[in-house]
Chain A
Amino acid sequence: MPLCYSWPRFFRTKPPTVPDISLVSDSDSGSTTSSCRQCGLFDLCFAQGVAESRRDELDRIVRRQKPLERENHLFMAGQPLKSICVIRSGTVKSYRLSRDGDEIVTGFHLPGELIGLDAIGHERHPAFAVALEDSRYCEIPYREFQRLLSGSPDLNQLMLKLLSVDMAETRELLVVIGRLDARARVAVFLLNLSRRLARRGKDPFRFRLSMDRRDIANYLGLTIETVSRTLSWMQKNGMLTVRGKLVSILDVDSLLDRAGREHEDLLLQQA
């Protein structure tokens, strides 16, 4: 396993394990899916945007991986970029470590979303990626992907668009979150999640939060108490119900009011 990072000695938990990607081949992916087009996620996956003529090539290089168990890492910060990943099922959290070894949560990734794009710049992963629940994913080896890119203006355009959207959303979320009060931050978080689920054909108004309150608090820059208190407040005011990890959104309008109408573009499902 080629690793050129060292596990920070001040990190408080056991070193995570990295799946040995070199040993995994298509044949033991544990899935009957043999091509992107037959994949249940195809309509949601970035691969759909790839021109018809290029899909066979993409099919050839995509590697469907063994399931990744909860708390296992997809990659580590500092590792050289080998592949870009697409989540097929489950949820993946990305995070960095502060100088003191504290975790800083930078995002949550849902099925159909690409992760590892932020490693392209320096060909090295700036963040850790860990499964929050048992997850499945596909790998696209970066070198082969580059070759594919160089022969395909369509694919180049698609990637540029994806990167730009990702960057814009991330930036806007950062700005939004940084300037809002706690209730608005939590509302933005839930509506954003809801929209991404809707985009993937999932129920946007009833979903399980696979991230725990420490992750949500960390991501939003709030204390865990504030996250829970805010959710309780929203529940008391009829905006949603929380039962265990299950969130049911009852009143999108009120949540949107709370988040701030000016962020509607960011939060609502686009036509």
Chain B
Amino acid sequence: MTTTFRPRFDDGLIARYGGEGPRYTSYPTAVQFSESFQAPDLVNALDESNRLPIPPDLSLYAHVPFCASPCFYCGCNRVITRSTTIGQEFLAHLEQELDLLVDHVDPDRQVQQVHLGGGTPTFLTTGQIGQLMRLLKTRFPFAETPEIGLEIDPRSVEPSGIRELRELGFDRLSVGVQDLDPAVQKAVNRVHDAEQVEAIIGAAHRVGFRSISVDLIYGLPLQRPESFARTVEAIVAMRPGRVSLFNYAHMPHLFKAQKQIRADELPAPATKLALFRNTVNRLLDAGYEFIGMDHFALPDDDLAVARRDGTMVRNFQGYSTHGGLDLLALGPSAISQVGDAFAQNRRGLIDWQAALEEGSLPVLRGLLRSAEDRLRAEIISDIMCFGEIEYRKFERDHEIVFDAHFGPELGRCEALADDGLIEWTAGGFRATPSGLLFLRTVAMAFDAYLHEGRTNGSRFSRVV
């Protein structure tokens, strides 16, 4: 698991396997969540964790659902508003949610990670973000060197704000750049210039942020290989530790904002593939390592180190340096993972507030994993993180005989091996360089729910 990957593009495989697939930020995926799972089930899961010989430490996530204006590509849960009082109201409700949760968490469990996502976390003023951090710190003990990060909209933060965030303890940030081309920015209603991004990243480097990540999106309207190459070149010159290259999934039937995007302006499939291929090759040539799926990192970034060390995991925040934490999520639509339980909050801001005002945890739905689910989740995580499976590890930990337990799954792998996505090893299999782009496809072979035929329709984005 210590080798570095270099994916290879194979047009035949892309045509064959480039279809839809879950992103496996959890297994089972959120599609399986059920409303029979409610707040008391989350409380039970928290108590089970408290009782373990060494209860897991904590990762806190807060979903700040507000945006000042809609980006047309966005499929996230958010509220478009210019209200200046709504942030303060939100913090008051977040405090109520924290107080309801903290009663069920033994006080010796330390916070190792904090992440603010959205929406736009920086919709909140720096003062309000500071207030939010104080809310967390007065309720949970923090580890000595926790990872504290947030997502940044370059339009909403001044370089001076970056220093203030660092002073509040933040040491990781993720900048949503998407594309620097003015025509594309206009078409998706997210206009900012390269200098703003450069100033923010420059400031973050100077004040000692430990990890800086940039999000790019390919497949946006009016994107052309030449113009997107200029964006990538500008980003590579700024040297962020991580780059994510997301695939724009045009699903206007699911996400209302996407109706604003003109379908006739979207790049043709061949163009889209060229955008992806060129960008991947450029990032690899510029010294970035392939992390998995659509993530890249410089060799000295914590995530690249974690992947090489075999400690990287996949969770609701994507790829992460830390495994074995209970993830407590706050805010509308946020998903917690506690032991074997997944719990998603009510999605609407009003519904979420209503539950809190009644004094109950705002759980909408969730799922309690079975031992079989957990086994498959570990296999899928290894595939997504390392592109590699060693049977012995699962045979020992789960007391199974891999061949006997996974007959149909290994049959599916046989077909993937015939097509050159994976190759067999002494005690397992691993993705080939061409297969690295299809980790989701390989993982799907072990998804029991997918093959039960319970999931249908186009709920998942395309693999490539």
Chain A residues with a Cβ under 8 A of chain B: 209, 212-214, 216, 224-225, 227-229, 231-232, 235, 242-245, 247
Contact = CB atoms under 8 A, between A and B. Distances in A.
DSSP majority for the A interface? helix
A245 B53 contact: yes
B244 to A, nearest CB: 31
B454 interface: no
B52 A212 contact: yes
B457 to A, nearest CB: 36
Given A224-B106, A224-B108, A225-B108, A242 B51 contact: no
Contacts of A243: 397
Nearest to B396: A206
Interface in B74-111: 106, 108
A91 B370 CA distance: 22
Contacts of B53: 209, 212-213, 216, 227-228, 231, 242, 245, 247
Nearest to A229: B108
B54 interface: yes
Contacts of B51: 212-214
Interface string B44-86: 0000000111110000000000000000000000000000000
Contacts of B108: 224-225, 228-229
Contacts of B54: 213, 228, 231-232, 235, 242
A148 B51 CA distance: 43
Nearest to A225: B108
A238 to B, nearest CB: 15
A214 B397 CA distance: 25
Contacts of B52: 212-213, 244-245
Interface string B25-58: 0000000000000000000000000011111000
A-B pairs, 4 with minimum CB distance = A212-B51, A225-B108, A228-B54, A242-B54
13 contacts: A209-B53, A212-B52, A213-B52, A214-B51, A216-B53, A225-B108, A227-B53, A228-B55, A228-B108, A242-B54, A244-B52, A245-B52, A245-B53
B397 to A, nearest CB: 8
Q: Which of B54, B106, B397 gathers the greatest number of chain A CB atoms within 10 Å?
A: B54
Q: Which of B52, B53, B54, B106 gathers the greatest number of chain A CB atoms within 10 Å?
A: B53
B90 to A, nearest CB: 33
Q: Which of A213, A216, A245 gathers the greatest number of chain B CB atoms within 10 Å?
A: A213
Contacts of A224: 106, 108
A209 B54 CA distance: 11
Contacts of A242: 53-54
Nearest to A213: B53
Contacts of A244: 52
Contacts of A209: 53
Contacts of A216: 53
A62 B408 CA distance: 47
Contacts of A212: 51-53
A247 B54 CA distance: 11
Contacts of B397: 243
Contacts of A227: 53
Contacts of A235: 54
A244 B108 CA distance: 17
Contacts of B55: 213, 228
A209 B106 CA distance: 19
Given A231-B54, A235-B54, A244-B52, 17 more contacts: A212-B52, A213-B51, A213-B53, A213-B54, A214-B51, A216-B53, A224-B106, A224-B108, A227-B53, A228-B54, A228-B55, A229-B108, A232-B54, A242-B54, A243-B397, A245-B53, A247-B53
B398 to A, nearest CB: 11
A246 B169 CA distance: 35
Contacts of A214: 51
A66 B134 CA distance: 54
Nearest to B339: A244
A212 B51 CA distance: 5
A170 B350 CA distance: 59
A54 B53 CA distance: 43
Interface in B360-396: none
A229 B110 CA distance: 12
A229 B54 CA distance: 8
Nearest to A246: B397
A114 to B, nearest CB: 27
A174 B55 CA distance: 27
A214 to B, nearest CB: 6
A181 to B, nearest CB: 19
B341 to A, nearest CB: 14
A45 B311 CA distance: 44
A212 B397 CA distance: 20
A209 B51 CA distance: 11
Contacts of A225: 108
A214 B51 CA distance: 7
A111 B239 CA distance: 61
B393 to A, nearest CB: 12
A225 B55 CA distance: 10
Interface in B213-245: none
A247 B397 CA distance: 12
A139 B54 CA distance: 35
